[in-house]
Amino acid sequence: MAFYNTEDMDRWERFYRANFINSLTGFKSVSLIGTTNANGQNNLGIFSSIVHLGSNPPLIGYINRPIESAAHTLENIQSTGVYTINHIQSQFVQQAHQTSAKYSKEISEFEEVGLTPEFELNCIAPFVRESDIKYALSLEEIIPIQLNRTFLVIGKITGIIIHQDIVSDDGFIHLEKANSICSNGIDAYYNTDFIDRFEYAKPGKPTQIIK
Amino acid sequence: MAFYNTEDMDRWERFYRANFINSLTGFKSVSLIGTTNANGQNNLGIFSSIVHLGSNPPLIGYINRPIESAAHTLENIQSTGVYTINHIQSQFVQQAHQTSAKYSKEISEFEEVGLTPEFELNCIAPFVRESDIKYALSLEEIIPIQLNRTFLVIGKITGIIIHQDIVSDDGFIHLEKANSICSNGIDAYYNTDFIDRFEYAKPGKPTQIIK
């Protein structure tokens, strides 16, 4: 095993460090966030920092980078109060990655990368038609993280679009059956292989696989 | 496709809703957090809400549930200021899941589930010996999320233990080569299959695969 301390990390070249630390935190939930502005100009961006905050109410967070490096999505959410989160399936991973290019504000990433905006559930923010699992959110709170000038953006789920045949009887969603992917680091994408589901764990009781 | 709005979600049975919303947010970074208290009593818990906040400084967040449902890890972090995050490899997924049982405070989950505490890098919080990718953190900030009484706990990486042979020349870590897993929902675990890495995306430039 290799051991690194703070002094070692401080010596790392900038891109080496970014790749290393971004991978170190493990596989990530990667999705496309769809927004629109007051003029109906659509925006689509890829985000790999989506985090489940709670189910009741259904609250989801994502981390927005400092405003000077990633302004459009956050500005649109602040302006309209709504956004969509769309799973990335392996069929369109290349288009999804391309949305990370720094397009100017008046450009729709949908058109540039070849994905299709879709309007459903009375949400003015665009969904991604090609995505098989997607949901709409209303903005609840933006919490500034002073330490590195990022933001925790919290929304409440107001609508869901999904193929019902991948949802189990107990509500669990077999994401792998929709080919939803996860990411690693800044630029790597992965399919997944189901291992097992385990029953609710209790002290003194052996861990049981859900059949 | 099936469409659900807020009224539909409000009608869902409690566990159906928890499973559904927990899966909807996509695959998760799942790891074991190791802590100790002032008396040297070790604690180990499984967390699936680890989020990368930035690489320079190297800041990592995780969501701690309301204090009455998940007190021990947060109390120990507040008391000692340090903790470890340990990737879960498929070889010990069952033991890792079992740490989610509500053991009382004076019990070490390490002993109960059969994992081994390991002390390295001058960190008083225990690492998991069986884990092949792990890092130590010092507490930076605890941000209360008023909306649902959870907490965003932010730490700075102070040390890393890893097999160097899974780290690429540019710092990217092939997590799949260590069998690190990801999770879905409350109780499902997955291996991963590498698809591709893509070059930094630029407007007007075709998306290129990193060979």
Q: Which of A25, B163, B110 is nearest to B118 (CA)?
A: B110
- HEC string for A15-54: HHHHHHHHHHCCCEECEEEEEECCCCCEEEEEECCEEEEE
The per-residue pLDDT for range B1-52, each reduced to its tens digit, is 999 999 999 999 999 999 999 999 999 999 999 999 999 999 999 999 999 9
- With an 8 Å Cβ cutoff, are B154 and A170 in contact? no
User: How buried is residue B157: exposed, middle or buried, by Cβ count under 10 Å (0-12/13-18/19+)?
Assistant: buried
Domain count, chain B: 1
Q: Note whether residue A146 is domain-resident.
A: yes
Domain-located, residue A100: yes
Cβ–Cβ < 8 Å for A115, A95: yes
pLDDT digits (tens, 9 = 90+) for A65-83: 999 888 899 999 999 999 9
Q: How far is B60 from chain A (nearest CA, A)?
A: 8
- Distance CA(A45)–CA(A43), nearest Å, equals 7
Q: Which two tokens stand for residue B163?
A: 């097999």
Task: Please check whether residue A82 lies inside any domain of the structure.
Answer: yes
In eight-state DSSP terms, residue B70 is S
Is position A121 within any domain?
yes
CA–CA distance, B177 with B193 (Å, rounded to integer)? 10
Residue A200 lies in a domain: no
CA distance B81 to B155: 9
Under 8 Å between Cβ of B179 and B191: yes
How does pLDDT run along chain A (211 residues), one tens digit per residue?
999 999 999 999 999 999 999 999 999 999 999 999 999 999 999 999 999 999 999 999 999 999 988 889 999 999 999 999 999 999 999 999 999 999 998 999 999 999 999 999 999 999 999 999 999 999 999 999 999 999 999 999 999 999 999 999 999 999 999 999 999 999 999 999 999 999 999 999 999 999 8
Nearest to B137 by CA among B151, B150, B124: B124
Say which CATH number the domain at B113 has. Answer: 2.30.110.10
Positive or negative CA dihedral for B188, B192, B197, B203? Answer: negative
Q: How far is A73 from chain B (nearest CA, A)?
A: 17
Please state, as a whole number, how many other Cβ atoms lie within 10 Å of the Cβ of residue B204: 7
Beta bridge partners, B157, equal B137
Contacts of A163 in chain B (CB under 8 A): 1-2
Q: Rounded to a whole number, what is the distance in Å from the CA of B78 to chain A's nearest CA?
A: 18
**Chain A residues with CB-CB distance to B150 below 8 A:** 53-54
> Bridge partners of B180?
B89
Residue of A161, A3, A173, A201 lying closest to B127 (CA atoms): A3
User: How many angstroms separate the CA atoms of A32 and A18, rounded?
Assistant: 22
Interface contact flag, A194 B200, Cβ < 8 Å: no
Q: How far is residue A52's CA from residue A60's CA, in Å, rounded to a whole number?
A: 5
Are B77 and B35 within 8 A, CB to CB? yes
By C-alpha distance, the chain B residue nearest A108 is B203
Cβ-based contacts of A95 with chain B (< 8 Å): 207
- Tokens representing residue B160 in the block: 């890393």
Rounded Cα gap, residues B93 and A197, in angstroms: 10
Minimum Cα–Cα distance from A169: chain B residue: B16
Helix ranges restricted to H, A99-139: 109-113
- Cβ within 8 Å, pair B52-A22: yes
Give a yes or no: residue A65 inside a domain: yes
- Residue matched to tokens 């059956």: A177
Domain assignment of residue B96, given as a range: 6-190
